[in-house]
Amino acid sequence: MIIKGGTTITADGPRPADVIVEESTITAVTEPGQATGAGPIIDATGLWVLPGAVDAHTHFGMPLGSGVSSLGWQESSAAALLGGTTTIIDFANPTVGEPLPEAVSKWRGMADGVILCDYGLHVTVTDVSGDRLAEIPALVEQGLPTFKGFLAYKGRLMLSLVEMKRLMEAVHQAGAMLLVHAEDGEMNAAAERVLLDTGRTAPCWHPLAHPDESEVKAVAEILDLATVTGCPLTIVHMSLGQSLELLKKTRNTQGRDGKLFGEVCLHHLFADAGLYESGHEAALAAICSPPLRTEGNGDELLSGLVAGHLDLLSTDHCEFPLTVKSAAAGGGFPRVPNGCGGVAERMVVSHSLAVVTGKMDPARWIETCCHRPAELMGLASRKGQMAPGFDADIVLFDPLAEYRWDPLGSSDRAGSLWAGLPVTGRVRDVWLRGRQVVAGGKLTGDQPGGEFLPRHL
């Protein structure tokens, strides 16, 4: 197959080029008109020809205590493909006392044969007993080199600082990286208690149970622990300009660039806490942790991402049907499952609101959404680049087409975070390892099935 007449985006910027694909691999990226070979010719005139995007942080099949789950592996991965994302990295979340390898097998059992895009798994660690930590090196060997620990969610997932230090030492020793949810669980629990004790149970109160100070404290503490232990660290879903400043300062003063990374998610860049005040449904859709923050933080985070002080633009896609969030809200906002959608929207929304507005150049856009997530998460040789030898995960993106905020056409999506934004553009066609999975903005139905990707840092 030859994709002709489009514009690719290299590290130096946009470049007209033709792309040759043989079977599942990109074999050449040539000057326009230079491509030769057999197979179908695709006319990409007027389109961006992009590497399939990589989302380093999703939750596609998240079971909750009450038995409900986020939209599930199939529907969420369909949304990913329709949004131009061909690779995601999700999480295996062990239950209490469950060995980590068993959790990985269980989560692979849920995804394999169902998921439509390629995927890897981070492993969540909530128990730092010797048995659990001893399981880490073998998982790293098997292609699971990234783990997640929480300073938030008291009584469920939270680790104390002492426990977190043990985890960081074990992860570091195994040559792996730790992802950390940096909010102070004690502080959040205390704030939540005051709200509930004074009768403030509606969804609009959710952000007050997650004070800015809680994230700032946790970010400072985890940066200290990373410095002490030497453990490679990505602070995920950073939501405040103040957090970014702390990361910047530590990177500068400790000279630890290359081991400390920051992730920002689409909703913290382009949605804000005003949504909690704009009606019950919008407030429900916006319930996530850390919460949406006051206007201004998004601009600071975007500037940090553009300048290279943050590394990844992910989604933390964890989308629950609006009916599920709504039913849970009857028991008060703490019962509402946390999480927002975004995997269908990340490329189009960030293109419109960051690239077209001139805040971010196209090369940095592709770096933060495709190349860097692949590189940081151990997929550098296969994913995230439009170059010979890479998987033929290719997206044709029309920057001028009308935006369709819900490509799945579902009325039960809580994804309405994005509905009112001034967004233009559409993912037209997508190939996953050389097979077309989206044509004209619709799934082809000829799904090759997503593959589990072993990763190595």
- The binding site for ligand URP (CB under 6 A) comprises 59, 181, 237, 288-289, 316, 318, 338-339
We find the least distance from the C-beta atom of residue 180 to ligand URP, in angstroms, to be 10
We find the least distance from the C-beta atom of residue 213 to ligand URP, in angstroms, to be 18
Whole-angstrom distance, CA of residue 321 vs CA of residue 325: 7
- Report, in this order, helix, strand and coil percent for the chain, each rounded to 5: 35, 25, 40
Q: What, of ligand URP, Zn ion, none, does residue 455 touch, CB below 5 to 8 Å by kind?
A: none
Identify which of residues 265 and 348 has a Cβ nearer to ligand URP in the complex.
Answer: 265
Identify which of residues 147 and 390 has a Cβ nearer to Zn ion in the complex.
Answer: 147
We find the least distance from the C-beta atom of residue 208 to ligand URP, in angstroms, to be 16
334 φ, ψ to 5°?
A: -65, -20
Q: Specify the residue for token string 């927002």.
A: 340
Whole-angstrom distance, CA of residue 255 vs CA of residue 187: 30
Q: What, of ligand URP, Zn ion, none, does residue 433 touch, CB below 5 to 8 Å by kind?
A: none
Identify which of residues 181 and 413 has a Cβ nearer to ligand URP in the complex.
Answer: 181
Query: What letter would DSSP give residue 95?
Result: P
Q: What, of Zn ion, ligand URP, none, does residue 93 touch, CB below 5 to 8 Å by kind?
A: none
We find the least distance from the C-beta atom of residue 11 to Zn ion, in angstroms, to be 29
Q: What, of Zn ion, ligand URP, none, does residue 288 touch, CB below 5 to 8 Å by kind?
A: ligand URP
Identify which of residues 181 and 382 has a Cβ nearer to ligand URP in the complex.
Answer: 181
| Residue nearest ligand URP, Cβ-based | 338
Whole-angstrom distance, CA of residue 280 vs CA of residue 424: 27
Radius of gyration for the chain, computed over Cα atoms and rounded to the nearest angstrom:
21
Whole-angstrom distance, CA of residue 272 vs CA of residue 269: 8
**Bond preceding residue 290 cis, omega within 30 of 0:** yes
We find the least distance from the C-beta atom of residue 59 to ligand URP, in angstroms, to be 5
We find the least distance from the C-beta atom of residue 89 to ligand URP, in angstroms, to be 12
Identify which of residues 18 and 316 has a Cβ nearer to ligand URP in the complex.
Answer: 316
Identify which of residues 56 and 78 has a Cβ nearer to ligand URP in the complex.
Answer: 56
We find the least distance from the C-beta atom of residue 289 to ligand URP, in angstroms, to be 4
CB count within 10 Å of CB 407 equals 22
Identify which of residues 316 and 345 has a Cβ nearer to Zn ion in the complex.
Answer: 316
Cα dihedral angle (404, 410, 412, 413), rounded to 10 degrees? -40
Site residues, Zn ion (CB under 5 A): 181, 316
Distant-in-sequence, close-in-space partners of 107: CB < 8 Å, separation ≥ 6? 61, 90, 91, 92, 93, 121
